[in-house]
Amino acid sequence: MKHPIIIAPSLLSSDFSQLESEVKRCAQAGADILHVDVMDGHFVPNITIGPLIVEAIRPHTSLPLDCHLMVSNPDAYISAFAKSGADWISIHVEACTHLHRSIALIKDLGKKAGVVLNPITPIEYAFEAAPFVDFILLMSVNPGFGGQAFIPHVLNKARRLRKFLDDSGYEHVEIEIDGGVKTDNVKDVIDAGVNIIVSGSGLFSGDMASNIATMKSHG
Ligand code: DX5
Ligand code: ZN
């Protein structure tokens, strides 16, 4: 199964004083979904967006909102993000004690569920989660900040994961990547089997429409 390429600008790189126009700019530039980085200052060393901000941007776009929860104890916040307008919700395997239960919580709320793996978290976690999720997000930086350098080791994880999914009856599960992806390395990422591309600094610096078109041309 060949999944379409989905481009997800990370709002972390947007101008937070102009979120309405930034969200519209992404849609006009050809974004498929919007990536929302939620950080709690505990699981990661930074604090960003809560459900109130998701609720505030929700009326200004029809694009799906892809909420990446970089928080400890995500179970406590999943329903608030679902209510505020999140369409996709992903949770870190490193933050969940009862991952199966947390995934079920997202699915019960009618949202697309994803699990996220930090760069050195063993890919076998994704193998075990595959029967229960819609997508798997591989971090290609240590989460917490935009503008960091891509960790190429993650390409091998993506290749292994795509092969496992295709060989095991989970072809429908999509692979997302997040961190340090730009127009100059996106081809390697797509060739490794990733189809959902998160990019912050790589899209917001320069002409976003042309950056998105270049990324899609590698699909
Ligand atoms: C990092 C975030 C990313 C970040 C990506 O913790 O999860 O979504 O915004 O930014 P770039 O593309 O600049 O690495
Ligand atoms: Zn993210």
pLDDT in tens, 94-150: 999 999 999 999 999 999 999 999 999 999 999 999 999 999 999 999 999 999 999
Is residue 45's pLDDT more than 90?
yes
Contact 139, 120 (CB under 8 A): no
Average pLDDT over residues 173-199: 98
pLDDT in tens, 72-91: 999 999 999 999 999 999 99
Is residue 34's pLDDT more than 90?
yes
pLDDT at res. 172: 98
CA of 202 to the centre of ligand 1 (A): 9
Indicate the pTM of the whole model. Answer: 0.98
Of 1 and 182, more confident: 182
Is residue 1's pLDDT more than 90?
no
Which tokens belong to 81?
Answer: 């993000």
- Distance CA(80)–CA(52), nearest Å, equals 9
Ligand 1: residues whose CB is within 6 Å? Answer: 10, 12-13, 35, 37, 68, 141, 143-144, 146-148, 178-181, 198-202
pLDDT in tens, 139-172: 999 999 999 999 999 999 999 999 999 999 999 9
Is residue 11's pLDDT more than 90?
yes
Which has the closest alpha carbon to 38: 26, 52, 50? 50
pLDDT at res. 15: 98
- Distance CA(134)–CA(120), nearest Å, equals 22
- The mean of the pLDDT values for the chain is 98
- Distance CA(158)–CA(178), nearest Å, equals 12
Query: Beta 88-92 vs 174-178: how paired, if at all?
Result: unpaired
Burial class (CB in 10 A: 0-12, 13-18, 19+), 167: exposed
Q: Which residues are catalytic?
A: 37, 178
DSSP conformation letters of 155-174: HHHHHHHHHHHHHTT-TT-E
Atom nearest to 181 CA in ligand 1 = 12
Average pLDDT over residues 67-73: 98
Which has the closest alpha carbon to 88: 153, 126, 127, 38? 38
